Amino acid sequence: MSAQPRQEVIVVRRAEPTDRPRIEAFCRERGYRGFLSPEAAVVLAERGLAVAGLGRVQPDNGVLVLRGMGVDSGFRRRGIGTRLLDQLIAEIGTRRCYCIPYAHLREFYGRGGFADLDLASAPHFLRDRILEYRNAGNDVILMCRPGGADMAGSPAGPQPLFLLHGSAGAGA
């Protein structure tokens, strides 16, 4: 009887405040910024204590934006990005959500319900952001996942994950 290859267990879940040091290290090592903003809902993929990938969705200027999804190069091509996107879609729910992915990821985000959006239809701050990215040489596109409402028409955005300025008992 031959030995079966050992299956790698990758867990994808909503991050908790205790995950913060590992998430910060992952972001710092890759030059990512802004992952731990108070409004962000962060989704984490992990194997044991190793962070395999993460992503976030957060309100920005009154709309919901999926930002900064990334999978560690050692864990790519294993479906982790798809699992992260699925979990982020659960966070988004029925709300409208925008994202600015690299153009080669159009089909990937399309499988999550995102579709190309004309810049003229974009919120002004996103139009400015995409033009800034393009001027820096990034081949990015604007996409939107249709939903029932923007943040202003939504009962609640993603639940805050981290308290960056103080602690839960410090009174806010």
Q: pLDDT tens per residue, the chain (172 residues)?
A: 555 545 578 899 998 888 888 888 888 888 776 666 777 888 999 988 889 899 989 888 889 999 878 888 888 888 899 999 999 999 888 999 999 999 999 999 999 999 999 999 999 999 999 999 999 999 999 999 998 655 444 444 444 444 332 233 222 2
63-71/115-116 β-pairing: unpaired
**Contact partners, residue 148, CB within 8 Å, separation at least 6:** 94, 95, 96, 154
Q: Measured at the alpha carbon of residue 70, what is the angle toward residues 83 and 32, in degrees to the nearest 5? A: 150
DSSP 27-46: HHHHT---TT-TTPEEEEEE
d(CA 17, CA 158) in angstroms, rounded, equals 15
Do 37 and 58 form a contact (C-beta atoms < 8 A)? yes
Question: CA dihedral defined by 59, 62, 63, 69, rounded to 10 degrees?
Answer: -30
d(CA 101, CA 108) in angstroms, rounded, equals 10
**Contact partners, residue 90, CB within 8 Å, separation at least 6:** none
Q: Is the dihedral of CA 37, 42, 47, 49 positive or negative?
A: positive
pTM recorded for the entire structure: 0.78
Token readout for 49 is 């204590």
Go through the domains of the chain in sequence order and give each one's CATH number: 11-153 (3.40.630.30)
